[in-house]
Amino acid sequence: MSCTSTPHAGWDSPSTACSDPEDSYLDVQSQLDELRPLAHSPQPADEEGVEDAPKQGLNAAKSLPNRNDLEDAVAESKAQTHPLTLQQSLGQSFGQSFTPIANDATDFSNHYFSNTDYLCSKCQEVSWKLCTSNQTTDRAWHTTLKRVILHRHQCRLCTLLLESLCQPHNDPFQHPQIRDHLGERKKDFTDDRRNWPAIGERDFKTWLDVWSKKSFRLNGWPFGYGATTRQDIHGSFDGATRALGRYSRNVIHSGILGPGAIAAAKLVPKRLPCQFTVDIDAPKGLLDIKLWGYGRGHQAENSIISHFRLSTEVLPGADTAASPRNGLRYRKASDKGQIALATSSMWLDDCLHNHGHQCSEQGWQFVLRPPDFIRLIDVEDRCLVEFSGPSTAAVQYVALSYVWGPKDYFRLKREYMKAMLQKAGLDQFLEHDIPQTLKDAMTATRSSGLRFLWIDSLCIQQDDEHEKNAHMAAMDRIFGNALVTIIAADSADADKGLRGVQKDTRTVEQQIGHLAQDQRLIGHLPIPHGLEKSIWNSRAWTLQERLLSRRLLIFIDGQMMWRCRQAVHFEDVVGTDKAGEIEPFDWLSIKPQYVGHNARRGYIDGSISKLRDGRTVLVRSGAFTEYVKIVEQYTHRQITYSADILKALAGILGILEQCFHCRMNYGLPHTLLDVAILWRPRERLRRRPLNEINVPSWSWAGWVGRIGYDETFSEGEGENGIMKPIPEQFGEERIRSLVRWYSLDGDVLQPINRNGLGIPLPLGLDDPLPVEWDQVPAGAESLKSLQHLDLSNDMMQLLNSRELVFKTSCSSSFQLGSSISYGETVKAECPSLQYKLKTGGENAGIITLDGDGPSELVEGKHALVVLSEAEYLGYGEEILRRYDNKNADFPLYNVMLIEWAERKPIASRLGLGRVSEPVWRKSHTTVETIILT
């Protein structure tokens, strides 16, 4: 037999091909003998520059083609006239660009003859016993993505890594460095050019199927290309690999290499490395896996393009003495079709015993009494039970928060009451009448180890208006005293049910791989991210149920999750063991001193501050910060009946009354009326129909649409010395009070807060404001003149509790100018609603309209009225201005645009703005009494 050395396209070094026909078919055993010496030779680094990649962890994914790579290689060898060695056949099967290392060939041969799945030599490097120990030392491991793909049908761990990577929540193609450049080569995702998938459908799983079938071609690599020189080129490129993003001559011409260097270097493309790393967190039993890659963007950086975790699980019967445990720790394989509801009892027990008052007692608990009366569902005896008096404080119960929907489902009425109070009294209604969500909530309550459940439609008699109104006013006490609140976030109406509570009502995928007879790896379920955008979270009624609850058991995306103020847990693992970002959650943050508990003497709400230089300023208090957050969240939610706009928030408003030490007048606190009345639209509003609910125009509750308040800020210097705002949570409000407010108390018109001021200054009715403040609006003679309201007896007879009465400076000399567009003096969230104000051709300020009009200001019909002093014209990202009068501390007025009713001085609000005080003083003004309705 004579052999000659012939080059083979798949290898850098020549290969030996036998020319003797008698030896044209080598038997498999001789090929394996030929491979064995390679296993003892030094193993080169994994392909694609593994030495330069971060060595910290492991990752994986599953390939889809169903072919046995070794069988293909052997068949290819036998079919050649000049047969190839097994190692050469593997190279040909996986393309010219792939250079298998010695252990790869050995791994394939071992699998071929044992015909079982196994751990490849690389994956055997992981110390799996370490994963179930209590050692704290992390161990790192790494390998390339291409190597994992090569072993996708043989190695259990490589298979699990690829399966995990093919899951939508782990898909590296969702990373911007990959996703934003997937449109450049559609054929990487299908052989049929007539059916190219849309960009959103180009996922890792589809690419892997197509790319691996095409012998791992170079130009199908989505993780970036570099350029390298041939070995005989030196100097300008030094034979090094350069990461230039997507390989093209245009990129190279961009200054990284000059045109002359291109010809001299004779550049050839090379795939940039894509590598898995894994860190082992032994005490937690976690494998933290990251996939590092570049992407096709110009000069893309090496970054984490996928990050997920696997948990180790010791199966029953194994030695669990060394099983890791650190506080609440569990690692579960979830049932594909049903939730393990009993897990919730473990969460509740952990919270009750380890979180203490941090979850059990909130700031408002000091003023939150148990309900005087409550009717509950006994889930064990399947009937209604009633508690009253001291017994309501002792009963532990679950509350349900859900969306009722448009249909008229079964509700508690007087005719059913007697039967439902009997033991097993619910049985006759469970099968056909009670909606599925309510029945599933009963099942979940029973599984959590609790006995009693509160559901509004079954625990409030719906044909008793007195009972309904009493319960609406007590929502803070009902949800605030519930041990847990079940959130039906998945359910668009009351009959949709809680997915996963009943058998085979959900489908979840969880990757599981067996490492040994008594141990397996479990992939984590995706983190649910739909709560904030759910139908449940869009409804007005559910906001206070969410904010007032102590603990939440949430059913979303077919999963069950737990939230309290100290922890987040999921079915498969605790929240701290999850990879990826958990959706943030806003809790109501009322501190004990806000409601007067352990507060210093004389404390009201923290709104008034005395500076070192003696000035008195108004600052945003913690209580008002919470109020702003609540109102902004609430007003963008939907409510079916306008008449319920204040009822659906009654529980929270009751707590806020305790914070502000005053009554909430149509949703606004009297103590801070001067600030609360300065709400602004975030979108075009429309008035609520007066035939449905008669809420005054000065309250946000009288309008449909999202509103907000200006943020507080401190002053910072931007470019070119222009002042820029720096957001500050408890910063200055930057207003000063001017007017005195009155409202009807019984039959008597009384100053609000006893002194008429809409801020908590401890002054008498006749006391002056702080000396550095203006005492009265422009045009007013004195404080006494503002207290004389000039109302006739007939007008007094028309007053009601909806109206605010005040006396201030008014003007009809202003006109609407051009609309303010994005990026001008004020950066408006709704630019079409903001306009410049002009008078006599001079710019005077800005105005934001609440609704659709007016298109022009008509004298005798419209007027601007002064509310308070203002320090800045507007708050935007680009500019802060004190208007023209830079030497004045507060050179502007907050003004309200009003429309007079047929009978003056009754008027309604149309918008809010700011006007230069010097311009205002030059305009024609009058001082008038206004009844704001």
Task: Write out pLDDT tens, residues 839-883.
Answer: 988 889 999 999 988 989 999 999 999 999 998 887 543 334 554
Residue 614, pLDDT > 80, answer yes
Average pLDDT over residues 746-770: 90
pLDDT of res. 5: 32
DSSP, collapsed to helix, strand or coil, labels residue 308 as strand
Tokens standing for residue 424: 């097993």
Q: Count of CB atoms within 10 A of residue 865's CB? A: 24
Worst-scoring range by mean pLDDT, 151-155, 476-480, 503-507?
151-155
- For the chain, the farthest-separated pair of C-alpha atoms sits apart, in whole angstroms, at 126
Question: 94, 149 in Cβ contact below 8 A?
Answer: no
Give the containing element (helix H, strand E) for 548. helix 541-548
pLDDT of res. 94: 43
pLDDT of res. 192: 52
Question: 834, 820 in Cβ contact below 8 A?
Answer: yes
pLDDT of res. 702: 96
pLDDT of res. 726: 80
Residue type at 294?
Answer: Y
How far apart CA 732 and CA 711 sit, in angstroms, is 9
pLDDT of res. 54: 32
Average pLDDT over residues 161-184: 86
Residue 80, pLDDT > 60, answer no
Residue 813, pLDDT > 70, answer yes
Selected residue with higher pLDDT from 503 and 120: 503
Q: How far apart are the first and last CA of the chain?
A: 108
Indicate the pLDDT class of residue 932, thresholds 50, 70 and 90: very high
DSSP, collapsed to helix, strand or coil, labels residue 343 as helix
Which residue, 400, 355, 377, is CA-closest to 555? Answer: 400
Question: How does pLDDT run across 174-197, given as a tens digit for each residue?
Answer: 898 888 877 655 555 555 555 555
Residue type at 600?
Answer: R
Indicate the pLDDT class of residue 517, thresholds 50, 70 and 90: low
**Omega within 30 of 0 (cis) for the link into 905:** yes
Indicate the pLDDT class of residue 346, thresholds 50, 70 and 90: very high
Which residue, 566, 564, 547, 563, is CA-closest to 555? Answer: 563
Selected residue with higher pLDDT from 296 and 190: 296
Taking the mean position of all CA atoms in its chain, how far away is CA 575?
A: 15
Which residue, 605, 620, 600, is CA-closest to 656? Answer: 605
Indicate the pLDDT class of residue 240, thresholds 50, 70 and 90: very low
pLDDT of res. 42: 32
Percentage of the chain exceeding pLDDT 70? 72
pLDDT of res. 796: 87
Tokens standing for residue 796: 């007094």
Fill in the DSSP letter of residue 737. E
How far apart CA 847 and CA 898 sit, in angstroms, is 12
Question: How does pLDDT run across 727-750, given as a tens digit for each residue?
Answer: 888 899 999 999 999 999 888 899
pLDDT of res. 123: 84
pLDDT of res. 33: 38
**Residues 89, 92, 93, 94, Cα dihedral to 10°:** 130
pLDDT of res. 513: 84
How far apart CA 66 and CA 180 sit, in angstroms, is 30
**Residues 837, 838, 842, 844, Cα dihedral to 10°:** -30
Residue 914, pLDDT > 60, answer yes
Question: 608, 760 in Cβ contact below 8 A?
Answer: yes
Residue 735: CB partners within 8 Å, gap ≥ 6?
Answer: 618, 674, 675, 678, 868, 869, 870, 871, 890, 894
Residue 48, pLDDT > 70, answer no
Selected residue with higher pLDDT from 135 and 237: 135
Question: How does pLDDT run across 307-325, given as a tens digit for each residue?
Answer: 999 988 765 544 433 333 3
Average pLDDT, the chain: 78
Residue 169, pLDDT > 70, answer yes
Selected residue with higher pLDDT from 71 and 423: 423
How far apart CA 383 and CA 424 sit, in angstroms, is 5
pLDDT of res. 887: 52
Residue 115, pLDDT > 80, answer no
Residue 71, pLDDT > 80, answer no
Selected residue with higher pLDDT from 124 and 243: 124
Residue 446, pLDDT > 90, answer yes
Average pLDDT over residues 237-266: 38
Indicate the pLDDT class of residue 892, thresholds 50, 70 and 90: very high
